[in-house]
């Protein structure tokens, strides 16, 4: 995919977003110029976004052919790792409510240290345990952030 193709894709998405914003704003009521309604400003923002998206979309058809193509996901295996990271993030948040901050942090760090760029097991254990203890100490005790205790209590 070259730069112009990427621009075409992104501006089409943003054009759809802009049209949705404008429709939503009209439903909120635009009011009048001397008494603008709640949808007035968001309509303006959506109209600007839509107009600029259209300009960039049309500009993407100009230019010389033969532009260098770059794969959007050059290394699909590495891109899959992003999915693992995002899943880990979501599971961590859900897990924190049940397992508590300390144990969910331990599992979270352990998974990322071993599952994404695999480190030696000793490194995984040491950094996970140390990281959980230190972050618990700093955030819970020093900064006083009320982190969830879960069923364990901490």
Contact residues: another protein, CB under 8 A: 3, 6-7, 9-10, 14, 17, 21, 24, 28, 32-42, 44-46, 48-49, 52-53, 55-56, 59, 72-73, 75, 78-79, 81-82, 85-86, 89-90, 92-94, 96-97, 105, 108-109, 112-113, 116-117, 119, 123, 127, 131, 135, 139, 143-147
Question: What is the residue-wise DSSP string for 10-55?
Answer: HHHHHHHHHHHHHHHHHHH--B-SSSB-TTHHHHHHHHHHHHHHHH
Closest approach of Cβ 76 to another protein, in Å? 10
Entry field: residues in the chain: 154
65 versus 74: smaller Cβ distance to another protein? 74
Closest approach of Cβ 14 to another protein, in Å? 6
- Per-residue burial over 94-111, b = 16 or more CB atoms within 10 Å of its CB, e = otherwise: ebbeebbbbbbbbbbbbb
85 versus 152: smaller Cβ distance to another protein? 85
66 versus 144: smaller Cβ distance to another protein? 144
Ranges of H-type helices in the chain: 3-28, 40-59, 76-99, 101-115, 121-135
24 versus 152: smaller Cβ distance to another protein? 24
């Amino acid at each position: 995919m070259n730069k112009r193709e990427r621009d075409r894709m992104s501006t089409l998405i943003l054009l759809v977003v802009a049209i949705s914003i404008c429709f939503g704003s009209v439903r909120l009521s635009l009011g009048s110029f001397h008494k603008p309604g709640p949808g007035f400003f968001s309509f303006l923002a959506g109209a600007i976004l839509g107009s600029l998206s259209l300009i960039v979309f049309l500009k993407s058809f100009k230019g010389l052919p033969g532009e260098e193509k770059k794969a959007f996901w050059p290394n699909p295996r590495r891109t899959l790792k992003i999915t693992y990271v995002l899943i880990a993030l979501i599971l961590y948040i859900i897990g924190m409510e049940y397992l508590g901050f300390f144990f969910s942090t331990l599992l979270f760090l352990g998974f990322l240290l071993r599952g994404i760029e695999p480190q030696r097991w000793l490194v995984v254990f040491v950094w996970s345990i140390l990281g959980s203890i230190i972050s618990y100490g700093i955030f819970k005790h020093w900064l006083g952030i009320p982190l969830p205790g879960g069923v364990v209590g901490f």
